[in-house]
Chains A and B, each alone.
Chain A
């Protein structure tokens, strides 16, 4: 059924269609509408689940751990500071191998306080052992939440579905809502292989002594690498049933392009429009949109980008003191590639600053110039930065 939905509504309907058993929720802008909507579903009997109104995000994820450990399908949603408060438990969730699905409406981090969109929050927890998927539009949100449970439960890994705060969370667009009966065929009920139950007591979360700790981590790494195939396998099945596929990343007019943009999230849509305009003029430009960030599809991206002369990464995050996360990971994927493209990092759209077509054009032009001259003078650049701000010594 086609409905006009905000990103937050899409996320909550996704969780409902996945028939989650336990929801632990704490409000935070711009995610709040997700947990509001879910509380309505529970209140009016549309969703048969335990709804826990916890006192913090830390407890939200802790409660999900307890519920998931006894075998319940669990869901929570958060943003920004909430994700930071959860971050201790993100590592625990993945270490305990609990298939919890977390929706994250991407929002900037304090200080200064800022409620608007960038992707610093989820990129900051990239090492937590959670699968991370970035959505471009509201259709992808609802589809990704449901897909996430298949991936999570088949590999025993937590999955974080990220979507841009406000730009997607609060913007309504037409979304095809999958039929419940079809979703039920796609997603069987969850069965933890060894839940906490008195009949067969297990110890979950023991002390990992030095003789074993590395093996635990290595097993997580193996599962995460397997998630690349699992994401594709689940996505193929989804495509067969619902006619929509997303892959680990999307190649948009990229196959013969000399100059490529690399993006994640909603920025990709704006960039695609610009690519179309340049293409009409006969310029060989294209775009690759990263969907799965963890596991990072390094080899696959090398394959998709190697033919280009230059790649402009545009990202809404910065590891202060070096570069953005996408750029860092992409560069390391090319480390053993003899003739890879030149790569430039463009930090943009932090704290909800609009990324205009002019800025996208600036990134493309800079990449084209690098391709022409064969060198990158400054690998990390900022787009749309105001040179003079009243009261700030820069």
Chain B
């Protein structure tokens, strides 16, 4: 969030979905926000931000950017309809998805953005269930299918890349989307001092690819020089502790397939 505000500056209005960030930054009568900020509900950050953009336009307030921020649940699941509407209408909003791969605020429940095989409190490891049995929903591709002018993925382990993408997205008049991958240490069952290392490994293994789609053209902004095996990433995290060698090999195949699509060796 600090990177987002650093990149965007003061002339923004932030509409935030319900989540940890909303809860910890605004317990009345205190607020951590030094930019205008509104929370109205969980599923409607995009619609609220669209309204902000329309209001700013109607009042002829030039140079102020409407920014929506939501977690992966508020983006990929309950917030998807409002986001789809926002992008399809071409509203002048930058939407930032903060993806920590589960409903972490309510205590680590599976979301559409939870990766294959991950333990969560609603995909526990039992005789019949071995973590999430479906792959992660590909949000950037869904937004790309709407024809948004700018879409980017980012990682908190690559802050310069993240900030550049945010600046690029904010400068565009129209709907833009930045999806940042960010570990949640209690939810991923990692030590908090390993947060950045785990985030970086997601990129170095090719599990999370840093790219942008600029007017339909895909650019991979960081190609890992030599991809690390996915096991290095999975084995650092308690949420994948139960995986067998066969299951890890299956995930490796999925990652290889994904990287092939992006031209990553």
Instruction: Give Cα distance in the complex from A68 to B56, angstroms.
Output: 10
Q: What residue in chain B is nearest A64 (Cβ atoms)?
A: B51
* CB of A66 within 8 Å of the partner chain: yes
Instruction: Give Cα distance in the complex from A196 to B35, angstroms.
Output: 9
| A-chain residues with CB within 8 Å of residue B59 when the two chains form the complex | 21, 70-72
- Given A56-B85, A203-B26, A212-B29, the answer on whether A66 and B58 have CB atoms closer than 8 Å is no
Instruction: Give Cα distance in the complex from A205 to B89, angstroms.
Output: 26
Among A27-83, those with CB < 8 Å from B are: 49-50, 52-56, 58-59, 62-72, 74
B84 contacts A201, CB within 8 Å?
no
User: Number of B residues contacting the other chain (C-beta, 8 Å)?
Assistant: 46
B40 contacts A198, CB within 8 Å?
no
| B-chain residues with CB within 8 Å of residue A96 when the two chains form the complex | 38, 40
Interface residue tally of chain A, by bracket?
35 or more
- Given A64-B51, A65-B51, A67-B52, the answer on whether A55 and B84 have CB atoms closer than 8 Å is yes
- Given A54-B85, A196-B13, the answer on whether A205 and B47 have CB atoms closer than 8 Å is no
Among A96-110, those with CB < 8 Å from B are: 96
Main secondary structure of the interface of B (DSSP, over half): mixed
Main secondary structure of the interface of A (DSSP, over half): mixed
A21 contacts B88, CB within 8 Å?
no
Interface digits, B49-85 against A, CB 8 Å rule (1 contact, 0 not)?
Answer: 1111111111101001010000000000000011011
Among A184-205, those with CB < 8 Å from B are: 196-198, 201-205
Residue from the list A55, A67, A201 in contact with B36, Cβ < 8 A: A201
B62 CB to nearest chain A CB (Å): 12
| B-chain residues with CB within 8 Å of residue A49 when the two chains form the complex | 58
* CB of A208 within 8 Å of the partner chain: yes
Q: What residue in chain B is nearest A65 (Cβ atoms)?
A: B40
B82 contacts A62, CB within 8 Å?
yes
| B-chain residues with CB within 8 Å of residue A196 when the two chains form the complex | 13, 36-38, 52
* CB of B221 within 8 Å of the partner chain: no
Most buried by B among A53, A54, A198, A208: A198
Going nearest first, the 9 A-B pairs with the smallest beta carbon separation are A66-B51, A55-B85, A63-B51, A67-B55, A62-B47, A59-B47, A196-B36, A72-B55, A62-B44
Residues of chain A whose beta carbon lies under 8 Å from any beta carbon of chain B: 21-22, 24, 49-50, 52-56, 58-59, 62-72, 74, 88-89, 92, 96, 196-198, 201-209, 212
Residues of chain B whose beta carbon lies under 8 Å from any beta carbon of chain A: 10-13, 15, 22-23, 26-29, 31, 33-41, 43-44, 46-59, 61, 64, 66, 81-82, 84-85, 88-89
Apart from A52-B51, A67-B52, what are 7 other A-B pairs with CB-CB below 8 Å?
A22-B55, A50-B57, A63-B47, A63-B54, A74-B55, A196-B37, A206-B28
Listed by A's residue number, 6 A-B pairs whose Cβ atoms lie within 8 Å are A24-B51, A55-B88, A62-B44, A65-B38, A72-B59, A212-B29
